[in-house]
Amino acid sequence: MNFNSMTVGKRLYLGFGAVLAILVLVTLVAIAKVSAINTALKVNNDEHAAIQRYAINFRGSVHDRAIAVRDAVLSSSAIERQQLSHDIEQLAHFYAESVAPMERLLQSSADAVQLRVLYSTIQGIEKQAVVSTQAIQVKLEAGDVQGAQAQLSSEAKPQYVAWLAAINKLIDFEESRIQTQSKVAMGEASSFLMVMLAALVVALLIGAALAWAIPRSIVRQLGAEPDELGEVAQRVASGDLSAVAGADRAPAGSVLASLGAMQASLAHVVGQVRQASDSIATGSAEIASGNADLSRRTELQASHLQQTASSMVQMNTMVQGNADTARQATQLSTLASAAAQKGGEVVGQVVTTMDDIAQSSRKISDIIGVIDGIAFQTNILALNASVEAARASEQGRGFAVVAGEVRNLAQRSAEAAKEIKGLIGTSVGKIEAGTRLVSDAGTTMEDIVRQVRHVSDLISEISASTHEQTTGIGQVSTAVMQLDQSTQQNAALVEQSAAASASLQQQASRLTDVVRTFRFD
């Protein structure tokens, strides 16, 4: 496993893991050694020392009983002898209290065979000494002091000496066992000390190696000290995009080298963003200025369209009046035609009829004058509508076509009115001539009938043209109203666009201010 290819976390885990492994190993060895020492000391304390302690109790009891027996034999006072006899019994009872725990320890001891041999010797001597002691007490109670002294010297004394010697032998045996276990414990302690020293040396070597290798590899991977990297990151965060010192000398792939690459890339990106923000600011300012001009022109166009719409309303009213006049002229021409036909049938009433026709002709002449004036005004209004359509540019193209048609109709109406006026003049002349030339009344009446029919046809055409003018002017008025609505909507859109352009300009200014916080040198 390549140590340099490991992550920082794995390196730290490895370092601390190695230290912990050494610590666990040392702890396990220490536990084993301490357990061995504890076992040796426990055997000494719970077994050997206990057996030795009970044996010492035996020795104390035997020693004190031997003295009490001797004092009882040498004493001349019965009371003292009785007290000494009581002491002997108490010492025997004290001896008996240590027998039971002694025997339990002998059963569980590792050296039970040797101990039982020694203990059996003690028990055998005990029985003999107890019998001798009881016999001495009986003789003393009987007053046989010499017999008691003789038995003490011949039996009891050697028995007590042997008894004490056997007990001392048991004590010495346990002492040797205690010394052996103590040496074992001391040996374990010495080996434990050596193991701990060796483990300490190994731990120090491994710890020193890891303490040298891990920081070195981490610093190599970082490329610099952490506080230096923190300063570099803080500089970049504060907007300082100047070159990172030492990044060109840092190992490839290190944090410092990566920070240097990041700084260079970020400086390039921020430079492009700064150029783009400046361009956006300039463009948004131009858009805002253009939208302001467009808004003013749109408002002016809307005002002109409102005037045009008002003019179209007036034109529509006048054309409707022209249509009413044309209908009246049609009715009059119908009456004139009927009168001419009747005049042809009743020649005798030619003079009267001609007078009527003359009057009707004068009225028709007046009506034709009115129609001619209406046609002239319609022509003027159509001309004005064409001018306004030209000002409306692309949106007024359809309106210009309608205005042209209205103008053509007005010109045709004017020509027809002129022609009718000429015909009426001719009719009046013929009526005057008919008055003078009654003999030619029939021929003249036929001409009049034909002329009246022609006039009727012309008036019908005028009426149809007037109706078409009314329809066209209505369409023009509708188109003008729609154009006015579109212009109003365009004005609203232009205002929204102007507001959006102003907002874009503000955003571009803020973006420029933000980008200017970065420094490149």
Q: What is the pLDDT along the chain (521 residues), one digit of tens a residue?
A: 565 666 767 777 777 787 788 888 878 876 876 666 656 555 545 577 888 999 999 999 999 999 999 999 998 888 998 999 999 999 999 999 999 889 888 887 666 678 889 999 999 999 999 999 999 999 998 889 999 999 999 999 999 999 999 999 999 998 988 888 888 888 888 888 888 888 889 888 988 887 887 777 776 766 666 777 777 777 777 777 677 766 677 677 677 677 667 767 766 776 776 777 677 778 777 777 777 777 777 778 767 767 766 776 676 677 677 667 757 766 766 776 676 678 667 656 756 776 786 687 678 778 777 777 887 888 788 778 777 777 776 766 776 777 777 778 878 877 877 887 787 778 767 867 776 775 676 676 677 667 767 766 776 776 677 677 778 767 767 876 777 777 778 777 767 877 877 787 788 777 777 666 666 56
Residue 250 lies in a domain: no
Residue 350 lies in a domain: yes
Question: Are 472 and 353 contained in the same domain?
Answer: yes
Question: Are 301 and 446 contained in the same domain?
Answer: yes
Question: Are 56 and 165 contained in the same domain?
Answer: yes
pTM for this predicted structure: 0.36
Residue 247 lies in a domain: no
What are the Cα distances from residue 3, in Å, to 210, 258, 508?
11, 21, 51
Residue 1 lies in a domain: no
**What is the per-residue pLDDT for 347?**
56
**What is the per-residue pLDDT for 170?**
93
The last residue of one of the domains, among 160, 190, 222, is 222
Question: Are 362 and 452 contained in the same domain?
Answer: yes
Contact 163, 62 (CB under 8 A): yes
Contacts of 496 by beta carbon, 8 Å cutoff, 6+ apart:
none
**What is the per-residue pLDDT for 319?**
60
Question: Are 55 and 139 contained in the same domain?
Answer: yes
The last residue of one of the domains, among 222, 247, 277, is 222
Residue 196 lies in a domain: yes
**What is the per-residue pLDDT for 2?**
64
Contact 237, 263 (CB under 8 A): no
Which residues form the domain of 405?
A: 297-516
From CA 82, how far away is CA 68, in angstroms rounded? 11
Residue 507 lies in a domain: yes
The last residue of one of the domains, among 177, 192, 222, is 222
Name the domain count of the chain. Answer: 2
Contacts of 390 by beta carbon, 8 Å cutoff, 6+ apart:
396, 400
Contact 137, 175 (CB under 8 A): no
Question: Are 306 and 413 contained in the same domain?
Answer: yes
**What is the per-residue pLDDT for 61?**
94
CB half-sphere exposure, 241, CA atoms < 13 A: 18
**What is the per-residue pLDDT for 160?**
97
**What is the per-residue pLDDT for 315?**
65
**What is the per-residue pLDDT for 322?**
67
Residue 235 lies in a domain: no
Question: Are 465 and 323 contained in the same domain?
Answer: yes
Question: Are 306 and 189 contained in the same domain?
Answer: no
Residue 262 lies in a domain: no
Question: Are 314 and 445 contained in the same domain?
Answer: yes
Question: Are 48 and 187 contained in the same domain?
Answer: yes
DSSP secondary structure string for all residues of 374-395:
HHHHHHHHHHHHHHHHHHTGGG
Contacts of 477 by beta carbon, 8 Å cutoff, 6+ apart:
309, 312, 313, 316
Question: Are 21 and 115 contained in the same domain?
Answer: yes
Contact 407, 379 (CB under 8 A): yes
Question: Are 196 and 315 contained in the same domain?
Answer: no
Contacts of 442 by beta carbon, 8 Å cutoff, 6+ apart:
344, 347
